[in-house]
Chain A
Amino acid sequence: MLKFSGIDEARLKASWVSSAEAPELVHEFTSFIKELRELGPSPLRADYRRELV
């Protein structure tokens, strides 16, 4: 769906991490944050509402 809407799929990540696996979770977070930094700011941050005339 993201791809169909022109949004980079790499911006969404789903991982299966058990509550007993804290180091895994930290690793998932840090690596995903790193990947997102490399992708740059999200296009969704812009305001798509037009100026009212």
Chain B
Amino acid sequence: MIDVIRDKVKELLDSGEIKGFLGLVRKNGHIAPHLFQQGDDLSLMSLGDDKVAGDARYPLNKFLINLAKAYPEETFAVLVRGCDDRGLQTLYTWNQLNPKKVVPVGITCPQELADACECAKPFPAVITAGECAQPGTPRSVAAVDALVMSERFSYWMDEFVKCIKCYGCSNVCPMCFCNECTLKCNDLVKGGELPPEIPVFHHTRAMHMVGRCIDCGLCEEACPSNIPLRTLYKKVGSIMEEQFDFTTGAVRGQRSPLNKIDFAEGRK
């Protein structure tokens, strides 16, 4: 798979279509994000599969937002999996990236990763390399739904109480792009306490992920306290699906029902 990606990137760089390719590099025994430019050694490229598939993923779209801000005239290519592609579509609708300046280079995820992620679509819309796996079966939300109210309460409180308020979850999240963060506003989430006010801290973040979370799972991977954050946000996503028939990032150009004020009441 990686050879196909390498060839594609080489072709894009040589043609001058892109200024650089935001992907991953294997260096000094680690896999890290890297911007490949013309003349760079593409043999060091990685797809983020270290010991198992997809165990070295990064929020590349988040770095792409910064790149695009610094070089607004340039076009960049970016490595995308299914979730990153959902992220790109969503970032376009929130005006954080310009689709004309982004060239996605798509890879698929293997079945084991799709199952582990309980992923609804483990491949991007445009696939450069790889075979499509089946969607993973959702389990985690149903497992919590199966508990009675008092059990649910203690389950979540026992998890939330482990929080060390490191902000890893929002720092890694490719869909967290606000300049001012509610979680850092003293009047809304009281500062100076560990654990932070629970469940206010985690519920606030969950509410802000409505129509934004693209279920990449990076937050849960980043959380040093192993709080099952992804399950919480998967629930948020499932409510949006049931109530509004909206899956974040699934349809190109489709805005979140909460991001439609400018279309209301005839103002087009």
Stretch in B42-50, B52-60, B143-151 with 4+ CB within 8 Å of A: B143-151
Give the residues in chain A near B161, CB-CB below 8 Å: 48-50
Question: Complex: how many Å from CA A7 to CA B198?
Answer: 12
Main secondary structure of the interface of A (DSSP, over half): loop
Q: Does A6 contact B (CB under 8 A)?
A: yes
Interface bracket on B:
20 to 34
Residue B157 CB within 8 A of the other chain: yes
B195: CB under 8 A from chain A?
A: yes
Q: A4-B145, A6-B151, A8-B149 are in contact. Are A48 and B157 (CB under 8 A)?
A: yes
Q: Within 8 Å of chain A (Cβ to Cβ): is B236?
A: yes
* Chain B residue contacts of A6, Cβ below 8 A: 147, 149-156
Give the interface segment out of B76-84, B109-117, B199-207, B243-251.
B199-207
Is A41's CB within 8 Å of the partner chain B? no
B235 contacts chain A at the CB level, 8 A cutoff: yes
Within the complex, the shortest CB–CB distance from B110 to chain A, in Å, comes to 30
**Shortest Cβ distance from A18 into chain B, in angstroms?**
19
CA distance A5 to B153 in the complex (A): 5
Q: Does A43 contact B (CB under 8 A)?
A: yes
Partner of B199, one of A3, A5, A8, A50: A5
Q: How many angstroms between the C-alpha atoms of A43 and B160 in the bound complex?
A: 15
Shortest beta-carbon distance from A50 to chain B in Å:
7
Give the distance to chain B from A53, nearest Cβ to Cβ, in Å: 15
* 19 A-B residue pairings within 8 Å (CB atoms): A1-B206, A1-B236, A1-B239, A3-B149, A4-B144, A4-B152, A4-B232, A4-B235, A5-B152, A5-B153, A5-B156, A6-B149, A6-B154, A7-B149, A43-B153, A48-B157, A48-B160, A48-B161, A48-B198
- Which residues of A does B touch, CB under 8 Å? 1, 3-8, 43-44, 48-50
